[in-house]
Amino acid sequence: MHWAKDAAEAGRVIAKIADHHGVKHVVKSKSMVTEEIHLNDTLERRGIRVVETDLGEYIIQLAQEPPSHITAPVVHKRAEDISELFQRELGMHPTTDAVEMCAVARTALRGEFLDADMGISGCNFAIAETGTMCIVTNEGNGRLVTSMPRVYVAVAGIEKVVRAVDDAVLLWQAATRSATGQEATVYFSMSSGPRREGHADGPEVMHVVLLDNGRSRILERGYADVLLCIRCGACLNGCPVYREIGGHAYGPTAYSGPIGAVITPLLADDMAKARELPYASSLCGACRDVCPVKIDLPRLLLDLRCELAEAGGQPAFESGMAPLLERATLKAYAEISRGSRLYRGVSKVVGALSRLAAGGKGKDLNSLPPPLNAWTRTRAMPSLAVKSFRKRWSERERRTGKGDAE
């Protein structure tokens, strides 16, 4: 049993275990936490061969890329890309058949499992009442990693600890349904230590590394909710932003999507390094709706934005300390929107101006005067239509005999 304050300490602890047992070859099952602490780099620098064994992780390791999804790390790759990679790296005969490629990977990885002297996994749930580490997989690599090598190391964030077996089973089912919609994952392994007297297989030594790496600080800063996450990936699948931009757009982090936009800045030693992430959301709330543990991600994103604005010298609007121009603009907008006559007049003038600036109706504005030029630097703004929406609406209402809209 080991405790690690941060990534560096966890790396040192695991490297020491590897040295102690003369480990040269490690097999790993998919684990976001070891991705978070860049464990592969640490071990490889010491001349240890590290092989990822989840099919998706194996593919991106061969391609030397980071994962793009919490549960489907290689969702961004086409079968053709994977085929090319396998032909180059594994000498596979040309095929783009997914089932055939899986068989090729099975053979290659089986050799690694039988040969490796250490297995490393993350941990889905750590059961306090019995000292048990649970991992959830569909492929079976989790079972092989925890059963075949002589040494087994499980790494768990401190938030993975649950009180009882019952809690772990409940959360396992919640994660399964939200991740893939299965009734049960193919494998759920609960390991409580090395093999016992008379057992044919299982590790001879088992180590557990409990990792803080910013988690207790998250609790301290009032973001405890985010520690409830069970990494099912449902918020990624539900997020219109993630679906459009993909996981790699969230930068060099283990966690992408809405949950990543909250966790990554919180785990960073300096939040400003990931300052764009809390803004990578339209706050539509789809992530909150699908979350099986009911994390209010939009709320947390807003809180982070607030913190970032204050840290960047921009006090929150509600505090009455916002920049003068911003306040004046919003005040004026509120005033204009309130009176229908004023709104109509102003929109007429703005519409005419926009068409004039664009050079005719139906044309786009490619540059606006400051401070609006920041917006048009990467986008075109369409000029306003001659006939406003309000006008169209009232005409339509009159036509269909539903009375006046105003």
Partner 1 sequence: MTDRLAAREEILQRLRRVLSAGGPMFRGEPPAASAVESRMTVADVRDDSQSLADQFAASLEQALGSCELVESREAVADVVVRRIVAWAAELEAPTVDGTTVDVLSWAPGELPVPELEDRMRERDIRLFVPADLHEDQSRARAAASVIGLTSVNAAFASTGSVALVPGPGRSRAASLLPLRHMILVPMSRIYPTVEDWLRSLRQADRLRDLLQRSAQIVFVTGPSKSADIELILALGVHGPKVVHAVVFDDTNGG
Question: Please, which of residues 114-133 interact with partner 1 by CB under 8 A?
Answer: 114, 127, 129-132
The only residue of 105, 271, 277, 365 in contact with partner 1, by rule CB under 8 A: 105
If the CB atoms of residues 172 and 250 are measured against partner 1, the closer one turns out to be 172
- The alpha carbons of the chain give a radius of gyration, in whole angstroms, of 27
Decide if 386 contacts 361 (C-beta within 8 A): yes
Q: Tell me the HSE value of 395 on the side-chain side, using a 13 A CA sphere.
A: 6
Residues 328-387 interacting with partner 1 (rule: CB under 8 A): none
Residues 152-171 interacting with partner 1 (rule: CB under 8 A): 158, 163-167, 169-170
| Cα(170)–Cα(230) distance, integer angstroms | 11
Residue 244 has a CB neighbour count (10 Å cut-off) of 8
If the CB atoms of residues 256 and 383 are measured against partner 1, the closer one turns out to be 256
If the CB atoms of residues 148 and 365 are measured against partner 1, the closer one turns out to be 148
Residues 258-287 interacting with partner 1 (rule: CB under 8 A): none
If the CB atoms of residues 4 and 365 are measured against partner 1, the closer one turns out to be 4
Decide if 226 contacts 220 (C-beta within 8 A): no
Decide if 58 contacts 82 (C-beta within 8 A): no
CB of 403 to partner 1, least distance (A): 44
If the CB atoms of residues 106 and 387 are measured against partner 1, the closer one turns out to be 106
CB of 147 to partner 1, least distance (A): 5
Is residue 317 classed exposed, middle or buried when 0-12, 13-18 and 19+ CB atoms within 10 A define those classes? middle
CB of 170 to partner 1, least distance (A): 7
Which range in 95-103, 231-239, 323-331, 396-404 contacts partner 1 by CB under 8 A?
95-103
The only residue of 11, 37, 73, 179 in contact with partner 1, by rule CB under 8 A: 73
Interacting residues of 116 by C-beta distance below 8 A, sequence separation 6+: 25, 26, 27, 51, 148, 149
The only residue of 38, 49, 248, 299 in contact with partner 1, by rule CB under 8 A: 299
The only residue of 146, 264, 281, 354 in contact with partner 1, by rule CB under 8 A: 146
Largest CA distance in the chain: 89
CA 84 to chain centre: 28
For 251-383, where are the alpha helices, taking DSSP H only? 257-267, 286-290, 297-311, 324-338, 340-358, 373-376
138 lies in the binding site for partner 1 (CB under 8 A): yes
Residues 45-64 interacting with partner 1 (rule: CB under 8 A): 53-56, 59
Decide if 137 contacts 143 (C-beta within 8 A): yes
Residues 195-254 interacting with partner 1 (rule: CB under 8 A): 195-202, 204, 210, 212, 216-217, 219-220, 224-225, 228
CB of 165 to partner 1, least distance (A): 6
